[in-house]
Each structure stands twice: as structure tokens, then as C-alpha cells.
Amino acid sequence: MTKQCICQICTCGKHRCPHRPYGVVGKGDQACAVTEYRSEFVPREGAARESFKPDYTLQTNTAPLDDETTHKHDYIKHTMEKPRSFKPEEVYVPRGDFDALTSYNKEYTPKGGEPAKMIKHHAQKIVSAPFEGDPTYKADYRKWEAARTEPIRHDGGYVASADPFKGESTYTTDYLKHQAAMRQAIRPDHAVMQSQEPFDDRTGYRTDYIHHPQQERFQRAREEYMPNKASLDSLTTHKKDFTPKEALPARSMKPDNQGYASNARFEDSTTNKTDFKRWEVQPIQTHKPEEYRPKPGDMDMNTMYNSEFTPKPLAKVNAVKPVERRAIDAKFDGSTTYGGDFRKWPGGRPPAIRAQSGYAPPNMPFEGMSTYKGHYIPHPGGPQPSFKPTGAAYQSSAPFDDATMYRTEYTAKEIEPCPAALLETPRSNFTHHHTEPTGHKFYESQQQAAMAYYQQQQQQQQVTA
């Protein structure tokens, strides 16, 4: 059975395998074009990048260093005052003993209890009897004795040529060596171009720029401070409206340090004590499994497999060997069509065609009459008529006859679609067989798949019989 690719199944020439996009339709012996290098590394166009390395040129300046910075120019020094110390208020600590008794400590007292016991599962029972059985692999797949195939060798009937070897190839005879002078180098001269003329530093800036005197900057005159000659009136609105009043000092809101005492009996009845009553709790009853009681009588160990599938006598399968070729005693007839029709003819080098040496003039005198003048007879003729068609359109009153040979003799035929376009569809006659690790898919016809399945079923029936 042959497995075909999409290139071999296609009949229209428009379907190509993605692994062989440039292959010829119908030829599947070409190498796979899909590689990791072609799928991952995509070629891109680009030239060599220029170097970003800066030139090692030192910029020097003869001007004096100006140490005037922005910090020195804008920063103003201010006087520093010592910060005032801040003392926090003293923490008040009440006197007396702290009562740490809470409802949690009073109600929830520690109880005694036994630790939980560990739950252990029963161990799996192991059958001590040996396993008896024959697996499907050993029953169906047996080792057969196979003989070594003989190599197929061809007869080495090589006949050497009788002509002597000249030792000259097409390259030596066609391509002759010509003497030519050595080409001059295109490399430019590395000599520095120097000039004896003085350097012309007259630029457009120096010739066109006119130096104008700079005007002085306008400065506004500062106003002098004129102090007030009148005396300062220190009486403010606060001093004038808010006069001191006589008042008693405010009493302290601090509570007394004496504890609150009461002779009444403490009522300890809470919602928990009144609503939630104490109920009697019984211990949890554990479930005990029933004890195993073996059934009376002996166990029947005979299963359906042992009763139905009994050993059968099987005959040894004959080995499928190729048919041996019988030797023929008749004499080999080596006459072929090529040897009978194409015979070797004696051939030599054709003689060179050389021109005749010397010119033999004719003995007859020259008449002075040429062939053109003797055979050509002039005839009277007028101007040639124009073959240009007239601009009038051709019209006919007869009905148009559209009965062509294509319409009368051609019969419409059903165009069958390409089998490659119907792959992996219900209408396709091919089924997927396997896929290679590289992604190359192979298909086989449904008849071949059905025949392989039928042969496999026949072999299984023979083995079970």
C-alpha cells in the first residue's frame, strides 16, 4: 500500500504541500523545505551600522574660570534661632490594685480530656498463589524464523571505448587565455591635500556684521526711607475693649481618688446563665462493623474464561517466501533495437571547402545589356486605389444566425473537483494515515484502508481458531 501526499493527490496543480511549496506536482521524492532555521530566522535587509564612537578631540578654552554659581548668587544667609523645647504632659496613673477577673476566666475553666486515638486501616490482603495466564502479546505476536535475503546484483558488462583519450576538455578548448595588463587599483590616494595659499578666514559673518555700541541699562531710582516723626500709640483695640475683671479661679474637674464602694450584694445573673441551661450530654456511640462469617461449602473457581476459552491445537504458519527464479538454459540473445537499427558507419573528416584560386575572365565581349533591362518591360499604370474601408456601417435585414458549432455539437460534461480540495471532508475518498514529526501529512484511499482492516480481521480469526 502506498501513502500519498497532497502534492501527489492534486490533479489541478493548485494545491501544494506547505513542506514542499516549490515542488513539481506528481513528484514526491524531493526533500522537505520546512526547517527550524527558515521558520524562526527571517532574513532582513540591512547594511552595516555606523560607529557611534566619539572622536578623541579635547576641547580647550583659554578664558579664566568663573566661580560665580547660581547658589552663591541667589542664596541669602538668614539668622538661626534656637528652637524651643516642648515637654509633653505627665501621664496620670491611678492608684490601687487592678481587678483582672473577667467573665471568660470565670466561666471557661480548664477541663480534662483523653487524647484522640489514631485510626489505622487494615492492610491489603496478598494472594500467595502464583499467577497463571498468557497475555495477548505473547499469544498473538510470536517470533518467526526469517531467512536472510540475497542481494540483487547487476551484471557488470562494461565495455571500454576503443578511441584514444585526447585529454582535452570543453573548458580548455573554448576558453582561451588572453594576455591583459594588470588593472589599476581603485583605492584613493592617502596623501594629504595641501595648499601653499594662505587660509581665507573671511566669512559672511565677519564681512556683513556691523558692531553697534550697546546702550546702558535703565535703572529705577530707589526711594529713601522716611521715618514717621509722630509718637507711636501702643493702645490697641484688644487693650481698649477687653479690660481685666475680678473672678474666682475655676474649680478642678478632676475626680476624687477615692474608690466607689457599695454594701449591696453583687448580682451575677447574666443572659447566658438565665437562658442557656445545662443539658446532660451522652457519649457518642461508635458503629462496630459486622464480623466476617464464611459461607458454608467450597468455592467454585471455574470462570467463564476458563470454561469457554480452552486451548486448541494450532498448525504452524508457513513462511511467506518469494518465488525462486528458475535458471533458463537457452542462449542469451543480446540483439536489441539499438544494435540492429543504429549501426556504426565508417566516417572520416570531411574535406575543407576552399575557394578557387585565380580569376578567369570570359572570352565573349560585353554587350552592355543587363538582365534587368532585358527582362523588365515597363507597363503604363495609374495611381493605386486606396484600400481604406468606407466609414458606412454594414447593415443587413436578415435575422442573426447564432447557431454555432459549439452550441450544436458541444455537450455539457460534469467537472469533477480536485481530490486534494476534498481532503478531510465526508466527500473525500482518502483518509488520514499518519503524520510525521515534522508535520508532513500522508493519506491513503478508503479501499486500501478497508482492505488492510479486512486482512487484519482475517489474521485475528486465524489466530483465535
Q: 33: which residues sit within 8 A by CB, 6+ positions away?
A: 19, 20, 21, 22, 23
pLDDT at residue number 227: 84
Q: Rounded to the nearest 5 degrees, what angle is found at the Cα of 397, between the Cα atoms of 393 and 401?
A: 95
Q: Residues 28, 16: contact at Cβ < 8 Å?
A: no
Average pLDDT score over residue span 167-185: 77
Write down the mean pLDDT value for the chain. Answer: 77
Phi, psi dihedral angles at 182 (to 5 degrees): -70, 135
pLDDT at residue number 2: 72
Q: Residues 32, 19: contact at Cβ < 8 Å?
A: yes
pLDDT at residue number 383: 78
pLDDT at residue number 124: 64
pLDDT above 70 for 157:
no
Residue-wise pLDDT for 279-291, tens only, equals 888 888 888 888 8
CA quadruple 156, 162, 167, 173: dihedral positive or negative? negative
pLDDT above 80 for 60:
no
Q: What is the pTM of this model?
A: 0.23
Q: Is 82 left (phi over 0), alpha (psi -120 to 50) or beta?
A: beta
Q: Residues 10, 420: contact at Cβ < 8 Å?
A: yes
Cβ count near 213 (within 10 Å) = 5
CA 432, CA 440: separation in Å to the nearest integer? 11
* Per-position DSSP letters for 227-286, written without gaps between them: ---SPP----HHHHH------PPPPP-PPPSSPP---SPP----HHHHHS-----PPPPP
Q: Of the given ranges (30-34, 148-152, 178-182, 430-434), which has the lowest mean pLDDT?
A: 30-34
CA 443, CA 355: separation in Å to the nearest integer? 72
CA 9, CA 429: separation in Å to the nearest integer? 11
Average pLDDT score over residue span 133-162: 73
Average pLDDT score over residue span 208-214: 83
Q: Residues 321, 147: contact at Cβ < 8 Å?
A: yes
Q: Residues 7, 419: contact at Cβ < 8 Å?
A: no
pLDDT at residue number 440: 72
Pairing of strands 441-445, 430-435: antiparallel
Structure-model confidence comparison of residues 221 and 256, the more confident one: 221
332 — pLDDT class (breaks 50, 70, 90): confident
Phi, psi dihedral angles at 431 (to 5 degrees): -120, 150
Average pLDDT score over residue span 300-322: 78
* Cell 521558520, located at residue: 39
42 — pLDDT class (breaks 50, 70, 90): low
Radius of gyration of the chain (CA): 62
CA quadruple 357, 363, 364, 366: dihedral positive or negative? positive
pLDDT above 70 for 191:
no
The alpha helices in 59-153, defined as continuous H runs, are: 70-74, 103-107, 136-140
* Per-position DSSP letters for 419-462, written without gaps between them: GGGGTTSTT-SEEEEEE-TTS-EEEEEHHHHHHHHHHHHHHHHH
pLDDT above 80 for 220:
yes
Residues forming a β-bridge with 445: 430
CA 193, CA 422: separation in Å to the nearest integer? 77
CA dihedral 46, 47, 48, 49 (to 10 degrees): -70
Percent of the chain exceeding pLDDT 70 equals 85
pLDDT above 60 for 21:
no
DSSP state of 70: H
Average pLDDT score over residue span 306-335: 75
355 — pLDDT class (breaks 50, 70, 90): low
Q: Is 4 helix (H, G, I), strand (E, B) or coil?
A: strand
pLDDT above 60 for 24:
no
